[in-house]
Structure 1
Amino acid sequence: MGRRSDHTRDELEALILDAAQQLMEEVGFARFSAREVAKRIGYSVGTVMHVFGSVDALVLEINTRTFILWAQWLEERLAEARGSERIRALVEGYFDFASQRSNLWSAIYEHRLPETMAMPEDLARRRSGLMAIVEREVTIVLPEAQHGEAARLSRSLVATVHGHCSFALGGSFALMGETEPLAMAMARVVEVLRAHGADLDSEDAGGPAA
């Protein structure tokens, strides 16, 4: 493994982030350690802190990478979808990413910024791409008169899907005897969109409400 003299600061930052993202995916937020990241790349933990300033700043960068990865994940599924089935692709894509990249997904919601630390504008901008995809697709299915509500509606729908997904992955739905959380989430999304005038094909959008 290269040492300090072998890497520029940009190279070192990328090296740390690659190792940190891999570690986060392997062990999850609760067991994540900057010291383990440093060990994996052959540097001291002091070097990691020198580059990122704090563990919180490092986790922010990892989670921002996850947002970008998640956005790419959704776009790949949308590329294969047509018409109102694109809404189904969004909901399924949320569940699929959360279940297949569960540690990365969970870290987004488990990490809490200290009160004294604000989200850097650049990271907020890079993270916004995910929500922009949802808002774009919601706008497409809404009548023009409802386009002004697309942003607010999109946030509400994401919260709805997130809640269903969290209950599914956390085992809460299983305890309730619910066996089809994805279908339930899809039904709620379709109900809300139709209530706002969206013209969704029943089969593509997931059929009648559950």
Structure 2
Amino acid sequence: MPRPRRQSREALQATILAAARHILAQDGIAGLSARAIARDIGYTPASIYTVFDSMSDLLIEVNRDTIAQLAKMLAHHGTAEAPEAGLRAMLLGYIAFMRENRALWYAFFGGLREREEFPPWFTDSISSLMESIAAMLRAYAPALDDATALRHAEQIYAAIHGAIALDIDRRLDLVTRQSAEDLALAALDAMLARLGA
């Protein structure tokens, strides 16, 4: 194999991240390693660590793109004229996104937690996702204060996530015959009924 041309650090980072996403899509999280990425891009495994301190840091960067895609989807549904319809579309869109991107889902939520702290941009991005859901809840129930809306957003997200996590891991049928969509919509309906009461 011919030796690859030397790339700038930024270009090498983009090449590594593209390879990581490709490997995740093909082989899942179990197939992702510095050696596999190096083989894919024609570099040595050590070159990966000139850009990323660890594989955990590399995964955090892969997850940046996943969060951006989720934020775009939430923003799209947040513009719905009817808040309830927007919330339902967001919920179903999230489930569809995670089903279609199982490898990204596993990269984001799967495996052992390898770090105690995450970069501020990462936690801020997740907080922003929760704020988007909270804004939709406030549009539905304008009397909600910010803290209560955020708490409800976290609860509905956890309910949706639990349903899709069981579904993606092929464990949902051990608990229920209902689909992830049915469970998540029921949780949303129950919350909206409480908020509308």
Classify the TM-score, shorter chain.
0.7 to 0.9
**Residue matched to 1:153:** 152
Question: 3-state SS of the aligned residue for 2:196?
Answer: coil
Name the counterpart of 1:12.
12
Alignment of 1:76-95 (within 5 A): 76-78=76-78, 81-83=80-82, 84-95=84-95
Q: Is the 8 A contact 2:88 2:185 kept in 1?
A: yes
- Stretch deviating more after TM superposition (65-74 or 97-106): 65-74
Equivalent AA in structure 2 for residue 193 of structure 1: L
State the TM-score, normalizing by the size of structure 1: 0.82
Task: Provide TM-score, normalisation by structure 2.
Answer: 0.86
In the other structure, the counterpart of 1:207 is none
Offset at residue 177 of structure 1 (A): 5.0
2:141 maps to 1:118: no
Cα distance in 2, alignment partners of residues 166 and 105 from structure 1: 9
Note closer, same or farther for the CA distance 1:161–1:126 as it changes in structure 2 (3 Å cut).
closer
Q: SS at the partner of 1:58?
A: helix
Of residues 120-129 and 94-103 in structure 1, the stretch that sits farther from structure 2 once superposed is 120-129
Residue range with higher mean Cα deviation, 40-49 or 132-141: 132-141
Residue in 2 aligned with 1:53?
Answer: 53
Q: What is the one-letter code of the residue matched to 2:168?
A: L
Count of aligned residue pairs for this structure pair: 195
Question: Which residue is 1:201 aligned to?
Answer: none
Mapped to 2, the partners of 1:154 and 1:13 lie a distance apart of: 34
Summarize the Cα distance change of 1:157–1:64 in structure 2 as closer, same or farther, 3 Å threshold: same
Report if the CA contact (8 A) 1:146-1:196 is conserved. Answer: no
Identity rate, percent: 26
In structure 2, the gaps of 5 or more residues are: none
The alpha-carbon distance between structure 1 residues 68 and 2, as it changes in their structure 2 partners (threshold 3 A), is farther
Quick check: 1:74–1:90 contact (8 Å CA) kept in 2? yes
